A and B are shown apart, each in its own frame.
Chain A
Amino acid sequence: MLTGALAADLAVNGLVTGLFYGLMAIGLALIFGVLRIVNFAHGEFYMVGAYAYTIVAARLGVPLVVALPFAFLFGAALGWVVERTLMRPLYANIGSWGLMRDEYAVIVTFGLSLLLVNLVDKAIGPYAFRAPALVSASRIVVGPALMSGQKVAAAGVTLAVLALIALFLRFSYWGRAVRAVSQNRLGASLAGIDATAVSSLVFSLAGGLAALAGALLSPIINASPDVGAFPAIKSYVIVVLGGMGSIPGAFIASLLLGLVESFGAVLVSYQYRDTFGLVLLILFLLFRPQGLFGERGREV
């Protein structure tokens, strides 16, 4: 029975969830736009960020305003290292994969994902960690909905960060360089833009954003070695739905996915809530591979 009150509740909660998905997926969309690969280790950057924040804040007692940016920087640093050591063969023509660069990317990022999950599992331990919340109120009223203080704070930070990213991409030199390389790598480098530097920047940024998402949500979704699996799958769905490489597309698709899952869980099936996105992904890849906002003609 979908009453107006319930619908409003579902809408607000769905949008907030979508915001978090967005923070996670933007990085993946950027990577795809510039490097033309899907990073199968994306979820592990989220996980690393969750741990970085939790360990630094809970174990070392660092103040939260420092712990949060620390998590971001940690993810960004990891992204930079990964790009330098593993991603170069994609465009520098080294390594023996030749025409099978896509397959190389799949295998190497898949392997990276396994490595990070098991490394954390062995080095830190498999138990879930509880992280301190940014705001300790249990219940805050947001329009028609009730949500925990942590969620409200996280949503606020997410909106701010997303706005910053938008401004960065629009107005700064490097932001425009990213958009240029994303549209046409060869053309951009002919115009004098260092495409390799842009790749580094984007991979680091994506790593940092995913880590930040992990950190923000860690008080709600406790850090554990396999915590990255579910945000990763959501990100893949969003990037495909929004159009591979389209940043505004990714943002809209995130909100849409949040709403679809929220309403679908109540109206269609709660158990299969996670399959809606997966089914949408398959359908889009088959019938509308450019997603909602991507460009046509992109070879799939």
Chain B
Amino acid sequence: MSGDIRLMREFIATAVLLLLLALLPLLTRDVYWLGVLVVSAYFAILASSWNLLAGFTGQFSLAPAAFAMIGAYGAALSSAYYNVPPIAGLIIGSGVAGLIGLVLGRIVMRLKGPYLALTTLSFAEIARLVASNSINITRGDLGLPLEPWFNDRVVWFYVFLGALAFIIGGLYLLLRSKAGLFLEAIRDDEIAAARSGVRIVFWKTAAFAISSAAAGFAGALYAYFASLVTPELGLVQQTGLVVSMTVIGGMGSLIGPVVGAFLVYVTSEWLRDVGGWQLVIFAALVIVFARLFRTGLWGLVTAALATRRQRPA
């Protein structure tokens, strides 16, 4: 199956999933569960942004949560100190995150594998420590409050769903174009790609910048939803969640992170009452999928459908 058709199938599947989710408020107005779905959507955006960098370009950054935190603080600080309206806060948040991502991406360009992971991890920890210790500016662990944007939970649900659709749509257009080919070429064999004339520097840095901007956007939106920004947003555990969701859902596919995010987070909340072993299970799943099913749940589903189709009638 050619890459284009595969990508289009993933896009259609994602669109269908989002449409189904959009119908949910007709069935339930439960504020609590809608809230769970909102946070799942936040993770879906974050996981999709990480997937662009890691799944499609092969750059395994361990900093997605840090960029979300940067975006959140961008929005919160501009709102608290300069009273900017929410739309501006969103733009500032994603902009700052994207810019820092651009610089970081340029700096770590030549690093691969564990070296890239270590550097981005160090960056993430430094960012979190700075946010946590700059108590005069960010109020540290106490958190920075923001004026909430909308008060209705159902409105927030659709806002997040819309934002997710926007990001997925953007990613689809990007990956369908030549850019997608270049990024995957870099992922699969960077030296061969360079020799074929792909501008490695430009595309790797661009992937980093776009991914970070999207992560910052997710963080900024979440900041307005939660009305409180704390450094806890940037904890390595949060990155762990994002990585788990993407690996389980299916790295390198458009729909994988979305499926992974909703599945993992909703199950996690649902199981919370039951005893809390869900994190253990998800971590084990990550290991199992990495070891045995690299293409994740989505890969399993498409493989199963493919064999079904090939069975003689």
Binding site for B on A (CB under 8 A): 37-38, 40, 85-86, 89, 95-97, 99-100, 102-108, 110-115, 118-119, 121-122, 229, 233, 236-237, 240, 271-272, 274-275, 278-279, 281-282, 285-286, 289, 300
Contact = CB atoms under 8 A, between A and B. Distances in A.
Contacts of A282: 107, 119, 122-123
Contact of A107 (B60, B119, B277): B60
B291 A86 contact: yes
Main SS of the interface on chain B? helix
5 contacts: A38-B117, A110-B240, A114-B237, A115-B286, A229-B236
A102 B188 contact: no
Interface residues of B, number: 46
Given A40-B117, A102-B113, A275-B125, 17 more contacts: A96-B294, A99-B189, A103-B54, A103-B58, A105-B114, A114-B240, A114-B282, A115-B284, A115-B287, A236-B118, A237-B122, A271-B133, A275-B130, A278-B122, A278-B125, A281-B119, A286-B108
Contact of A103 (B60, B189, B237, B244): B60
Contact of A281 (B118, B277, B286, B294): B118
Contacts of B13: none
A95 B119 CA distance: 27
B280 A115 contact: yes
B286 A107 contact: yes
Contacts of A229: 236
B283 A278 contact: no
Contacts of B117: 38, 40, 106
Interface of B: 54, 58, 60, 62, 107-108, 110-115, 117-119, 121-123, 125-126, 129-130, 133, 187-189, 236-237, 240, 243-244, 247, 276-277, 279-280, 282-284, 286-287, 290-292, 294-295
A115 B279 CA distance: 7
A221 B287 CA distance: 29
A118 B280 contact: yes
Nearest 8 Cβ contacts at the A-B interface:
A102-B113, A111-B286, A38-B114, A115-B283, A114-B283, A278-B122, A118-B279, A111-B287
Contact of A108 (B58, B118, B133, B291): B291
Contacts of B282: 114
A288 to B, nearest CB: 13
Nearest to A271: B133
A106 B277 CA distance: 23
Contact of A106 (B114, B126, B240, B280): B114
B114 A122 contact: no
Contact of B243 (A107, A121, A274, A300): A107
